[in-house]
Amino acid sequence: MSQTLAREQGAMPPPMSDVAIEMRGVNKWFGDYHALRDIDLTVKRGERIVICGPSGSGKSTLIRTINGLEPHEQGRIVVDGIELTSELKKIDEVRRDVGMVFQHFNLFPHLTILENCTLAPVHVRGVPQKQAEETAMHFLRRVRIPEQANKYPGQLSGGQQQRVAIARALTMNPRIMLFDEPTSALDPEMVKEVLDVMVSLAQEGMTMLVVTHVMGFARQVADRVIFMDAGQIVEMADPGTFFTDPKHERTRLFLSQILE
């Protein structure tokens, strides 16, 4: 096991205000399949973490436990000081603080772009409609598609839809953003426009956990890169070390496969 990982696990948890996410001994099973195994991870506020690994390694499952989309069966997860239990109220509280962007965008196809972005502020936070629309337009400008506000998701390209999905998550003012393979379903030409938005988000200090295979993104913005296999964290390091000097056999094999 790498030294970085050992250090991480041995370290005292930093003071509360500094920690965005804390996972301790998290385990999860799908039926008999052991999907997450003894996950220990502390994410500091403002940290950008990229998670990679082969499909089925548990990387998506890991970030989906953080907002309770997948309940964990053992261990503790504390997000923004709120411990995730099976209590629905706690899960809703956490979800208000954590934004998520999905591989397949998951925009609401029956609502316009603007309505997609105002639905949650109005119905979760009770923001007045007009103010919610102003906020939504602000974030649509940020992802550079304000002119599409009155179209339906089906009329937009994949890259545009994913940028709307990011704007939609941002309208809830999340303190943490989770990205689950945000560019995997996109045409190659559209990857960059989505990554650009993510990079600018990172530069503003958003706490981000990103599952991706785009290693350029990891190199550019990640504070730490995590490699997962078979439901475990196999290696965790800063990107410089991770890409130039991976310690674990499995990591090296993975990197040699994807960095041709």
Partner 1 sequence: MARHFVRSEVLAARPAPRRPFDPIGWLSTNLFSSPLNIAATVLSVALIAKLLPPALDWAIFDAVWVGSSREACVGPGVGACWAFVWAKIGQFIHGHYPVGERWRVDLFFVLFAAGLIPMAIPRVPFKRLNAVYLILALPLVSLLLLYGGVFGLRVVPTSQWGGLLVTIIVAAVGIATSIPLGILLALGRRSKMPVIRMLSIAFIEFWRGIPLITVLFMSSVMLPLFLPPGVDFDKLLRALIGIALYASAYMAEAVRGGLQSLPRGQYEAAGSLGLGYWPTMRKVILPQALRVSIPGIVNTAIALLKDTSLVIVIGLFDLLGIIQSNFADSNWASPATPATGYIFAALVYWVMAFAVSRYSLFLERRLDVGRRH
Q: Return residues touching partner 1 (CB under 8 A).
A: 67-69, 92, 95-96, 98-100, 102, 104, 106-111, 119-120, 123-124, 152-155, 165, 168-169, 172
> Shortest gap between Cβ of 248 and partner 1 (angstroms)?
32
> Shortest gap between Cβ of 63 and partner 1 (angstroms)?
11
177 vs 221 by CB, closer to partner 1: 177
Taking the C-alpha atoms of residue 110 and residue 133, their distance in angstroms, rounded to an integer, is 17
Taking the C-alpha atoms of residue 45 and residue 26, their distance in angstroms, rounded to an integer, is 20
53 vs 99 by CB, closer to partner 1: 99
> Shortest gap between Cβ of 156 and partner 1 (angstroms)?
9
CB 199, CB 168: distance < 8 Å: no
109 vs 216 by CB, closer to partner 1: 109
> Shortest gap between Cβ of 177 and partner 1 (angstroms)?
11
In Å, what is the CA distance from 175 to each residue of 44, 116, 216? Answer: 12, 20, 24
119 vs 137 by CB, closer to partner 1: 119
Q: Provide CB contacts within 8 A for 61, sequence distance 6+.
A: 28, 35, 36, 70, 231
Amino acid at 173: N
DSSP state, residue 213: -
